[in-house]
A = this chain, B = another copy of it.
């Protein structure tokens, strides 16, 4: 037999109060006398009371829980930011119920309904599948991270400035030709600004540039094939020139670096590489990868603070507040794939 749970009623009887008082002991302890608080504290210990949040959620409607929707991608960025989000519990006290999805809209809709059924107080959306117009209509506030965010709040890296920083670093290294490698990206996502930033800078400074859009697919073999062909191409078209390449992720940059190392047994002087996201992977590469750091920890905290703020607003006003867009400045990480041959500087 699972022995019956100890409830407020039991504590009340045991300590000679009513269960209202027990509730107040937890929620507004200052409204009890010191003495009575002690009596109750003792009763709780002696009966070995265990909190049950379910009753509270039902009565008050506040679960202290946030729903997270992640793409089930292999990209290290997502795994890292999820870790950071989870570790904010100590700071903000919100618990997390997490779903991952492969990008099917109907499935994600079901996941969200499920989260709402558990009375999560807000949603943190990393997945790109559902449009913000849909998310905006939900009864709880949503914060999107690095995704389309027209109708919901969001926390994004300043992708445009990040791209500008990346190219200008390459420019300072006097490259002859500037390449940007990216995957097909909807114009509505923040990441699209990486392309715009790159192009604008090159045009303004009259740099010779090329944008290489390549579908890397989900599997890394495909990525390797794409990058191999890119490498061949570059060596054919720009022999002996100094090539600066700005990749849309550290993942891609790393894969390209591998190709170079396998071919030349080192990072050749005529290549300068910059990635994007500043993930742990970039430090793990044979030659550490210069990158545009997205300040993942800061992003996680800002996203949560924003969401909590909206949750409060929603509770107070009765409806989800207007979207707020936070921008996190990117950090230029000068590492070996640009600095290896420039130890002076």
Contact = CB atoms under 8 A, between A and B. Distances in A.
B95 A95 contact: no
Given A72-B87, A98-B96, A265 B266 contact: yes
Contacts of A72: 83, 86-87
A197 to B, nearest CB: 27
Q: How many copies does the complex hold?
A: 2
A218 to B, nearest CB: 12
Contact of A95 (B52, B118, B262): B118
Contacts of A97: 65, 95-98
Q: How large is the interface on A (under 10, 10 to 19, 20 to 34, 35 or more residues)?
A: 35 or more
A86 B58 contact: no
Interface of A: 1-2, 50-55, 57-58, 63, 65, 70, 72, 74, 79-80, 82-83, 86-87, 89-90, 95-100, 107, 111, 113-114, 116-119, 139, 220, 254-255, 258, 261-262, 265-266, 280-281, 283-287, 318-319
A220 B116 CA distance: 40
Contacts of A119: 52-54
A98 B266 CA distance: 42
A51 B117 contact: yes
Contacts of A98: 86, 96-98
Given A79-B83, A87-B100, A98-B98, A58 B54 contact: yes
Contact of A286 (B2, B55, B87, B261): B261
Nearest to A86: B100
Contacts of A79: 79-80, 82-83
